[in-house]
Structure 1
Amino acid sequence: MVSARCLFDEMSNRELVSWNSLISGYSQAGFHEESKKLYRDMLALEGVHPNGPTLDTWLMVSLRDPVLSTWNAIISGHVKNNQFQGALDFFREMLEFGARPSIVTISSILAALSHLSDLKVAKERHPYAIKHDYEENVYVATGIVDNYAKFGFISGAKTVFVRTRDRSVVIGTAIISGYAAQGDTGVALYLFNEMLNEGLQPDPVTFTALLGACARAGLVEESWFLFRSLVPNYGIEPIAEHYC
């Protein structure tokens, strides 16, 4: 970051791409305050005062994709550095400024919410995703299913999962994990078989959820069957979580 900042400071013409690169770098590296400060410096140079933008000027700047990507970079940087509340705070600030979130923004926020156990906020984001057709995106749908499943709102998770057309192993694992956590091993195993029928290749996380579900239900034979199938059927080497 020191070298990147030196190069940036030496530039005579700084375009938005350059600003975004440095802001994203600070955010990804965990230097959130520096990232925010640089972002406000950028807005000031674009004719927007960071502490009091006029609506017309702000909309002119915020609706440009490069600026939206900056918001996304800062929010995702917070999430990747486990600063989940910070990501949510910055998201709210983004909304107050009038910027419209994108699929990338919503996906990042859903990832943060899954660590904050905030079902109320997750439910607030869901209608927004539906209104703007973001729920059709598999990443957003997966985030919603994962949030609802972790919060114990399994009926909501199932509704979103059923409506999702282009499913992936990630969203399949999210719903399986949700039912496994609820102790509904039968449904978890059924969904696993459905995943296989759809031609999806389960990953190590899928089997961690399934084995955990079988353990809670005392299904020893089913557990052995799944465990012994890891290498020959799926090419997955057992890890510590599977042995546990």
Structure 2
Amino acid sequence: MSKKLSIVEDTIQKYGNCESLISIDPNFHEISISLFIKDNIATVWSFSHKKGIDQRIEQIRDQLIHLGGMTPIPGTHNQAQFPNGEMYKRPLKFLIRQAVEKPADFRHPAGPIRIKDLRSPLTIEIIPQEVSGCCVYEVTTIGEHKTAEIRKRAIVQGLVRYGDMEKVEPTKAIFPNGYRRDELVRIVLPYARNITGTQDMLEADSMRGQMTTGTLGFSPPV
């Protein structure tokens, strides 16, 4: 067994499956970054040996906290989990992308969860509501257009598909266990409004980052 293959297998055994691979980190020497998951703990990892890599990994992990509402694993610089120990694998793929590709000081805008619709002149707003101890997210629209109801239902489908959410009514969805996870809704909403485009993007990512020992977050030591 080659040394490179042994390192990859040891990493998988320690940190679990590689659920996401960002092939180029535009903010740090264009190295590749992987996200592993084991026992609902997410680990940010790279095989690069570039100077400052530990600090960069910690920056990315901290962005999982700031942008995704995760909490750090004590005593680590590269691990985080969701507050109640649950896991949302699909939205985590979009979260790690933003954590790597956005500047380290990037933050979500404050205020309502809103975004301009791509298929109408409407603005989409997601309103969290407490119902029987659960947080229900209702998709609403600002403005008038004949497709408003269709767009609301379509975006709920996008939240279900890419956010690990469950539809409870045609225009409402919840996370499993009913937890409130506004940060994840902000992350997923841009993708939920454009299911076709998002699927094309994910398929392209899959082609670039096939899980082989040559691409599994591996950057040759430098």
Larger strand proportion, structure 1 or 2? 2
TM-score norm. by structure 2 comes to: 0.30
TM-score norm. by structure 1 comes to: 0.28
Higher relative contact order, chain-length normalized (CA < 8 Å, sep 6+): 2
Larger helix proportion, structure 1 or 2? 1
